[in-house]
């Protein structure tokens, strides 16, 4: 039994902050008291807007996640709220079920960040919490009298409904004669993906299951994972490989050669398959998307799903079929759409399965690489430099804002000139060569991300490597 006093005081002292998607920090900082404080504050904020008696709860496969869920459930119980625990499932599966039941939800996950860290994602009955909700949670002053940690019985209902959502769209198993590899590692959805793709007609080969947590970053795929995919594709004669990050809301899918698709390219192809009228995307996405050739309107946002979601209400005033996606591959369906005469309800949170399925549906009579090759030849690459303090990152951003040329000189691009600067999120510089370099501090870890865009993949990769090497040597 433990006591939580004022949730605001506990959260403030924890050092845990909201990033681009949820509250994240070191596992050692997510004590039962801290988990309870976040939960109590979340409940107090939700009670100001919604009436509910139950909260949905789920976890990823991190070693620390179940104990954190127990603490969240204990805080809910202390506040007179029942818990329905869905066990290890993808974040979008939890969000889908909670929205259907019109109740809040909490997902215990650190997504792609290393296993010594973890996090909490919060959902309103109508979808992801907003940035205003985050601020309200941090400032709320709620209390827990006592915490009693209990075993949590698991319901399979959310997982079953998530699979049904996508199987219902297709009258026939359109993946017959296709071989799909599932890179399972420690993904929260690994028990669902094989039966899902088999039900769609594919022969499925399970790959790379791990008993240890694997922090897959779909935006900065490791060289080892790149080599694995190419090897698997050849060895098993695959038509595609599907994977996700840790909590199953960001997809990673390859073509028939084992080449992983960039997340924004995947999002573009999915949006086209859905006949989207308008899309909302972060500024880090490939500039071909906003070129005006694909959609009636493209809204550029800061990086993070809350910002993408925030653009949906205004877009819905003028456009019927709305979507959003990110460079990490997360796809957000902002409106109801009809596919094969079947209604697919909006799901305004990151989802990994929808873009994968729509890509496979679009390539059912061809291969994936042929779809990619039809797009304009503009390539992006990104990677991250770990153990970079927020202060160091901010100094670089400030340097570039005050004098873009000084920043270019400092990061090894002294031969380039700054044609234009965008400070929507970090600093994004259009170079005189028409290439783009974009620096942005991580919202939830001591990391600096570098994005680059060029007319060849090799040069985009060169820019990222050059920039991060220069920064690491300073």
Q: Among all residues, which ones are annotated catalytic? A: 111
User: How far is residue 162's CA from residue 424's CA, in Å, rounded to a whole number?
Assistant: 35
- Written as one string, the DSSP assignment of 2-36 is EEEEEHHHHHHHHT-EE-SSSEEEEGGG--HHHHH
Please name the residue that has the structure tokens 């729509």. 358
- Written as one string, the DSSP assignment of 443-473 is SSSSEEEEEEEESSHHHHHHHHHHHHHHHHT
108, 129, 205 from 23: Cα distances, Å:
10, 11, 35
DSSP-assigned letter for residue 304: S
Nearest partner of 218 among 468, 449, 473, 422, judged by Cα = 449
DSSP-assigned letter for residue 372: H
Q: Please give the structure tokens belonging to residue 114.
A: 């290393």
23, 328, 447, 472 from 389: Cα distances, Å:
18, 22, 7, 12
Give bridge partners of residue 280 from the DSSP assignment: 299, 324
- Long-range Cβ contact pairs of 232-238 (< 8 A, separation 24 or more): 232/181, 232/183, 232/205, 232/207, 232/258, 233/181, 233/257, 233/258, 234/258, 236/179, 236/181, 236/205, 237/179, 238/179, 238/180, 238/181, 238/205
User: How far is residue 27's CA from residue 63's CA, in Å, rounded to a whole number?
Assistant: 10
User: How far is residue 243's CA from residue 184's CA, in Å, rounded to a whole number?
Assistant: 6
Stretch (H or E) spanning 233: helix 223-236
Give bridge partners of residue 333 from the DSSP assignment: 323, 347
DSSP-assigned letter for residue 254: B
Query: Residue length, the chain?
Result: 474
User: How far is residue 417's CA from residue 432's CA, in Å, rounded to a whole number?
Assistant: 5
User: How far is residue 13's CA from residue 445's CA, in Å, rounded to a whole number?
Assistant: 17
67, 87, 106, 154 from 151: Cα distances, Å:
9, 11, 17, 10
Q: In degrees rounded to 5, what are phi and psi of residue 89? A: -145, 160
């Amino acid at each position: 039994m433990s006591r939580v006093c004022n949730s605001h005081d506990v959260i403030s002292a924890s050092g845990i902050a909201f990033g681009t998607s949820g509250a994240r920090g070191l596992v050692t900082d997510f004590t039962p008291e801290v988990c309870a404080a976040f939960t109590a504050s979340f409940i107090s904020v939700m009670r100001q807007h919604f009436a509910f008696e139950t909260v949905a709860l789920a976890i990823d496969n991190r070693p620390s996640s179940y104990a954190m869920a127990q603490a969240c459930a204990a805080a809910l119980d202390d506040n007179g709220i029942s818990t329905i625990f869905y066990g290890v499932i993808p974040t979008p599966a939890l969000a889908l079920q909670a929205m259907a039941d019109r109740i809040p939800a909490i997902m215990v996950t650190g997504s792609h960040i290393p296993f010594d860290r973890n996090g909490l994602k919060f959902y309103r009955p109508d979808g992801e919490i907003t940035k205003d909700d985050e601020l309200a949670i941090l400032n709320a002053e709620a209390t827990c009298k006592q915490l009693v940690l209990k075993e949590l019985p698991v319901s399979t209902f959310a997982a079953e409904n998530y699979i049904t959502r996508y199987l219902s769209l297709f009258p026939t198993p359109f993946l017959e004669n296709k071989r799909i590899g599932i890179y399972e590692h420690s993904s929260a959805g690994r028990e669902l993906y094989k039966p899902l793709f088999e039900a769609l007609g594919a022969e499925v080969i399970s790959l790379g299951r791990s008993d240890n947590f694997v922090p897959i970053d779909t935006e900065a795929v490791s060289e080892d994972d790149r080599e694995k995919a190419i090897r698997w594709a050849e060895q098993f004669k695959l038509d595609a490989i599907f994977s996700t990050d840790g909590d199953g809301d960001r997809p990673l899918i390859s073509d028939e050669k084992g080449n992983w698709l960039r997340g924004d390219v995947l999002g573009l192809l999915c949006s086209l398959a859905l006949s989207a009228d308008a899309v909302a995307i972060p500024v880090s996405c490939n500039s071909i998307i906003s070129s005006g050739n694909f959609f009636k309107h493209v809204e550029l946002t800061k990086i993070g799903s809350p910002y993408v979601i925030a653009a949906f209400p205004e877009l819905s005033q003028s456009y019927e079929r709305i979507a959003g996606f990110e460079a990490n591959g997360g796809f957000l369906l902002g409106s109801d759409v009809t596919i094969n005469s079947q209604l697919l309800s909006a799901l305004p949170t990151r989802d990994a399965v929808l873009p994968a399925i729509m890509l496979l549906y679009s390539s059912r009579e061809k291969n994936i690489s042929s779809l990619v090759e039809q797009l304009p030849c503009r390539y992006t690459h990104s990677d991250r430099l770990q153990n970079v303090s927020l202060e160091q990152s901010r100094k670089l951003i400030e340097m570039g804002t005050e004098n873009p040329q000084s920043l270019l000189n400092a990061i090894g691009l002294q031969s380039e000139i700054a044609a234009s600067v965008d400070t929507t999120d970090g600093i994004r510089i259009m170079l005189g060569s028409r290439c783009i370099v974009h620096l942005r501090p991580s919202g939830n870890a001591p990391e600096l991300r570098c994005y680059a865009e060029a007319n060849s993949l090799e040069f985009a990769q060169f820019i990222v490597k050059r920039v991060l090497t220069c920064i690491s040597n300073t």
